[in-house]
């Protein structure tokens, strides 16, 4: 590798790189620029650049966030260093102490990264910007790790200099086109004091192994490999963007519109080519906010979903993701959410007198995540008021043999038949709140009101709404 030229060092301006990306992302006045500040050489140089940028741009707010992982004996020393340097830069700093799960079968790298980003997010608001010190060599490491994991274009896209973060924030990487050598040379020229994390010399971690043993040999043979790998990552990102746009265009036609987060129509999916089946199913998983499946998991899931008999019960548990098939549709849910949405109790009694007040409004907890609101109104479809002598209750897991007669139906049917008609999967039926007056079912919340219990004209009645909290 050739030595860094003095002209390259003097021409490298971190404050200018920050300004370019802030302008590019259209950050609004009043937004907060938050630096993930470890105190290492990369973030130290960015902290200096951010302080210079802040002196010229008072329209923004600024914050350094240092995360104390508690994994090193030097962690407290690093906190004192960061607080001291923040004072030199004239920037406010927040120290966030976290606990990293170091249990068996846990990746300390991944766990530390997750809690670090959670801690930083807690200091941010919509519209804010996160700055990280990722550089050109980090990009090469990310590409090599993606190849090791067998990832496709999305994984090989690695990191972008700008991207949406946490749905409503921006993440910018001002140093992404700058090599580690140039960053270290610039910091040395400026006389910057920085910390050195001793864990960076431990080759048991994948990134450190690449950084210490593999990348130096690659650079010795191909000096520009970090730059060319970054170019490949950009081309993969470009192609992935086209794929994502096309999937976004096509996917809505495959999703049932009965409600938000509706299931995927497997009949329509089966009519597509094998490649489009994979792309659309991946897009469906991503749309609902779940982590992507491995290629092996994806192939196995599609095989079971698309080749099973129409009446076959298919239930796949892949990490936190639960995939189920019902009536030719694929439903996705979180195993954690499933537990939190289960009813607290199978029968909840309601004080009927509270529903008869002039402006009745009652809110009840159904599970850890769901509540039921009951309001008294004179508009919309609503249930007639109970008599004062009637016991009002909310019940779950009602027997399928219960006779029901929804409004606008010619005749009564068993509850289990109605569940099938409405396309409600078995696992959702047990969580549908059913309103009873005494032993009479009067309403299946969100689906129907029983004949004889619907208010007419301007008579005041009750509206039941189940919602998440």
Beta-carbon-side half-sphere exposure of residue 8 (alpha carbons within 13 Å): 12
- pLDDT tens for the chain, 469 residues: list them: 456 767 778 788 999 999 999 999 999 999 999 999 999 999 999 999 999 999 999 999 999 999 999 888 899 999 999 999 999 999 999 999 999 888 777 788 888 888 999 999 999 999 999 999 999 999 999 999 999 988 888 889 989 999 998 889 999 999 999 999 999 999 999 999 999 988 888 898 899 999 999 999 999 999 999 999 999 999 999 999 999 999 999 999 999 865 567 899 999 999 999 999 999 999 999 999 898 888 899 999 999 999 987 777 899 999 889 999 998 899 999 988 888 888 888 898 888 777 877 677 888 888 888 888 888 777 778 899 898 888 999 999 999 999 999 998 889 999 999 999 888 899 989 989 999 999 999 999 999 999 999 988 778 888 888 887 7
Q: What is the pLDDT of residue 202?
A: 87
- In 69-131, at which residue ranges do the beta strands (DSSP E only) sit? 93-97, 129-131
Residue with tokens 């049932």: 256
Q: What is the pLDDT of residue 337?
A: 83
Residue linked to tokens 């606990």:
99
What number of helices (H) and strands (E) belong to the chain?
18, 20
Q: Which residues pair with 265 in a beta bridge?
A: 329
**What does the block give as tokens for 264?**
């995927």
What pLDDT does 108 receive?
82
331 vs 39, 262, 263, 432, CA distance in Å?
A: 45, 7, 5, 17
DSSP string, 51-66: HHHHHH-TTSEEEEEE
Burial profile 351-386: b = 16 or more Cβ within 10 angstroms, e = fewer: ebeebeeeebebebebbeebebebbbeeeeebbbbb
Query: What is the bridge-based pairing of β-strands 440-444 and 448-449?
Result: antiparallel
pLDDT of the residue at 3: 64
- HSE at residue 35, side-chain half, CA atoms within 13 A, is 31
Residue corresponding to tokens 């990134």: 207
CATH number for the domain running over 6-241 = 3.40.50.620
Q: Answer whether 339's CB lies under 8 Å from 370's CB.
A: no
Joined together, the tokens standing for residue 435 give 């309103």
Enumerate the domain spans of the chain: 6-241, 255-338, 347-468
Is residue 194 within 8 A of residue 40, CB to CB? The reply is: yes
- Asked if residues 465 and 430 have their Cβ atoms less than 8 Å apart, the reply is no
Say how far apart CA 432 and CA 370 lie, in whole Å: 11
Tokens standing for 295?
């290629």
Measured over all CA atoms, what is the biggest interatomic distance in the chain, rounded to whole angstroms? 90
Burial of 209 (0-12, 13-18, 19+ CB in 10 A): middle
* pLDDT score for 1: 46
CATH among 1.20.59.20, 3.40.50.1370, 3.40.720.10, 3.40.630.30 for 255-338:
1.20.59.20
1/53 Cα distance (integer angstroms)? 32
| Beta strand pairing call for 370-377 and 129-131 | unpaired
Strands in 109-200 per DSSP E: 129-131, 162-165, 169-172
Interstrand relation of 448-449 and 413-414 (parallel, antiparallel or unpaired): unpaired
For residue 227, the tally of other CB atoms under 10 A from its CB is 14
């Amino acid at each position: 590798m050739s030595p860094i030229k003095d002209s390259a060092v003097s021409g490298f301006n971190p404050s200018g790189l920050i300004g370019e990306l802030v302008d590019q992302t259209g950050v609004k006045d009043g937004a907060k620029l938050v630096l993930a500040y470890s105190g290492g050489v990369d973030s130290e140089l960015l902290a200096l650049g951010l302080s210079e940028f802040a002196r010229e741009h008072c329209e923004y707010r600024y914050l350094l966030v240092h995360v104390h992982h508690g994994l090193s004996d030097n962690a407290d020393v690093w906190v004192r260093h960061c607080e001291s340097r923040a004072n030199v830069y004239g920037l406010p700093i927040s120290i966030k102490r976290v606990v990293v799960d170091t249990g068996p079968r846990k990746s300390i790298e991944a766990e530390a990264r997750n809690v670090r980003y959670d801690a930083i997010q807690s200091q941010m608001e919509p519209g804010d910007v996160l700055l990280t010190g990722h550089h050109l060599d980090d990009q090469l490491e990310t590409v090599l790790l993606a190849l090791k994991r067998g990832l496709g274009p999305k994984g090989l896209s690695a990191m972008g200099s700008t991207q949406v973060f946490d749905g409503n924030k921006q993440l910018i990487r001002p140093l992404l086109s700058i090599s580690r050598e140039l960053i270290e040379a610039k910091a040395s020229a400026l006389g910057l004091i920085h910390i050195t994390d001793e864990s960076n010399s431990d080759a048991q971690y994948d990134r450190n192994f690449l950084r210490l043993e593999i990348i130096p040999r690659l650079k010795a043979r191909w000096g520009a490999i970090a730059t060319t790998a970054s170019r490949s990552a950009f081309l993969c990102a470009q192609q992935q963007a086209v794929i994502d746009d096309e999937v976004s265009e096509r996917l809505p036609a495959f999703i049932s519109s009965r409600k938000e987060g509706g299931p995927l129509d497997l009949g329509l999916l089966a009519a597509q080519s094998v490649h489009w089946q994979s792309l659309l199913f991946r897009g469906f998983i991503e749309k609902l906010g779940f982590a992507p499946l491995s290629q092996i998991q994806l192939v196995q899931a599609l095989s079971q979903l698309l080749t099973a008999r129409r009446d076959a019960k298919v239930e796949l548990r892949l990490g936190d993701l639960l995939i189920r098939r019902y009536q030719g549709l694929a439903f996705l849910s979180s195993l954690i959410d499933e537990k939190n949405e289960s009813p607290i109790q199978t029968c909840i009694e309601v004080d009927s007198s509270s529903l008869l007040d002039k402006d009745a409004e009652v809110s009840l907890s159904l599970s850890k995540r769901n509540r039921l609101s009951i309001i008294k109104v004179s508009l919309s479809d609503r249930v007639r008021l109970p008599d004062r002598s009637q016991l009002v209750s909310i019940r779950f897991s009602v027997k399928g043999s219960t006779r029901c007669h929804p409004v606008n139906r010619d005749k009564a049917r068993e509850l289990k038949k109605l569940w099938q008609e409405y396309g409600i999967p078995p696992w959702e039926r047990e969580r549908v709140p059913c309103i009873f007056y005494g032993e009479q079912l009067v309403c299946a919340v969100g689906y129907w009101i029983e004949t004889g219990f619907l208010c007419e004209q301007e008579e005041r009645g009750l509206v039941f709404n189940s919602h998440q909290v």
